[in-house]
Amino acid sequence: MNADLLCLSHLRWNVVHQRPRELMTRFAARRRVYFLEEPVVGTGFPFLSVTRSDGVRILTPQLPRGIEGDDAEMLIRQLLRAHLREHGVIKPIHWFCTPMMQPIVDALPAAAIAFDCTDELSVLAVAPPELVAREQALLARADVVFTGGHSLFERKRQSHPNVHAFPSSIDVEHFAQARRAVQEPDDQRHLLRPRIGFCGIVDERVDLRLIDAVARLRPYWQLVMIGPATKVDSAAVPRAANIHYLGMKSYDDLPRYLAGWDVAMLPYARNDSTRYINPTKTPEYLAAGRPVVSTSVRDVVRPYGERQLVRIADTPEAFVAAVEHALVERAPPPAVDAFLASLSWDRTWAAMDRLLEAAVSRRAARAPRRPVSRLDPHPAAGAIDAQLTGEA
């Protein structure tokens, strides 16, 4: 029987359709998968909200306001362990999307420990101070490490002996819907052309000054921005008349928006926060049949820029010139489809699963031969129980 899998994620299941959701959905076809999200704060009494999606059990801790830091982690640990005991989960695979959740399961037996590292979180301005130490602790315990790009692979292999690069894949058929005649969404249909679009989270990694400059240099272009704005100063967000913030859209609707763009853009800043990113949007744009212009993000330059699948430009003037060339071409190069044929979430998941099973086997061979009958409560759980029941 395949080991259960516990995914510890800083990304919410229903907020952005990203890598964890693609992988966990596939893992759920052959093993029980539990997806622990970050907590929701503000409820009256702590509990674990449980929902199901694509065969995955999504666990969302609901915490009273005022419980933070170590106390919050202790309470989440207690809620999680109680739920796993109830479902007979004895020794799951620990799959980390973030090292920040490492203390929550540090005393929970693991069939194997995997770290799916998709970004160098420590360089983000919003990174908590304890992140670096927790990542080091996780790397010391992990059996296998996956990275979301080649630049990140080169960095992490200095810290772990078993690191494998897996740039994010795509559902080609889903985004290829944009190549066919589709009905445009109401909030985009009225916009004039040409339309230059971006889809993703607007945060410190996006070069807002570049977007503002492009909008001013070409006031008749319509810049379409799809996605939430998070952790950025609202005063820094450009508000030109030809920049349109359409907000968060569902994964299912994305092809309909991309179908109405003339060029797709990746206007990422060149700073520490983007040094190791591998934007999933690059192959998604190409699968949608859009020509793409990007700043010189390393994992876009290699391989997409080097293969001339994407135009690369950094200054506002160069970016405008690259978009103008793309507007003339109106489609990505013919070599795009051959390249995309090598990208598949099924292939990525299958390769990861083989490495994961090998890690499970190695850990089992090292483990002492003693039975594990149940999940013992964490030593601190009693203290939390006492606080909640007033018996302290």
Query: Is residue 36 pLDDT above 70, yes or no?
Result: yes
- CB-CB neighbours of 91 under 10 Å: 19
End-to-end CA distance of the chain: 42
What DSSP line would sit under 167-217, residue for residue?
Answer: -----HHHHHGGGS--PPPHHHHT--S-EEEEES-BSTTB-HHHHHHHHHH
Please name the residue that has the structure tokens 């799809």: 226
What pLDDT score does 382 carry? 38
The helix, strand and coil proportions of the chain, stated in percent and rounded to the nearest 5, come to: 40, 20, 40
* Main-chain dihedrals φ then ψ at residue 110, nearest 5 degrees: -130, 140
Question: Rounded distance, CA 74 to CA 104, Å?
Answer: 7
- The two tokens of residue 281 are 């949007």
- The two tokens of residue 159 are 């810290």
Question: Rounded distance, CA 275 to CA 299, Å?
Answer: 9
Query: Is residue 43 pLDDT above 80, yes or no?
Result: no
Quick: pLDDT tens for 184-221: 999 999 999 999 999 998 888 999 999 999 999 999 99
Q: Chain-wide mean pLDDT for the chain?
A: 89
What pLDDT score does 126 carry? 64
Q: Which residues contact 229 (CB under 8 A, 6 or more apart)?
A: 201, 202, 203, 237, 245
Residue 295's pLDDT band, with cuts at 50, 70 and 90, is: very high
Per-residue pLDDT, averaged over 105-129, amounts to 85
The four Cα atoms 179, 182, 187, 188 give a dihedral, to 10 degrees, of 40
What pLDDT score does 254 carry? 96
In the chain, what are the domains? 5-169+345-389 (3.40.50.2000), 172-340 (3.40.50.2000)
> 260 and 188 in contact (C-beta within 8 Å)?
yes
Query: Is residue 262 pLDDT above 50, yes or no?
Result: yes
Per-residue pLDDT, averaged over 297-307, amounts to 94
Each residue of 216-241: b (16+ CB within 10 Å) or e? eebeebbbbbbbebeebeeeebbeee
Question: Rounded distance, CA 110 to CA 97, Å?
Answer: 16
Quick: pLDDT tens for 131-169: 889 999 999 999 999 999 999 999 999 999 999 999 988
Q: Residue 343 is which amino acid?
A: L
Question: Rounded distance, CA 265 to CA 292, Å?
Answer: 6
Residue 228's pLDDT band, with cuts at 50, 70 and 90, is: confident
What pLDDT score does 174 carry? 94
Of 382, 392, 376, 391, the C-alpha closest to 90 is: 376
- The two tokens of residue 177 are 């819907």
- CB-CB neighbours of 317 under 10 Å: 12
Share of the chain above pLDDT 70, in %: 92
Of 39, 102, 104, the C-alpha closest to 66 is: 39
Looking from the CA of 249 toward its CB, the CA atoms found within 13 Å total 21
Residue 371's pLDDT band, with cuts at 50, 70 and 90, is: low
Of 25, 27, 52, 37, the C-alpha closest to 111 is: 27
What pLDDT score does 331 carry? 81
At 92 the three-state DSSP class reads: coil
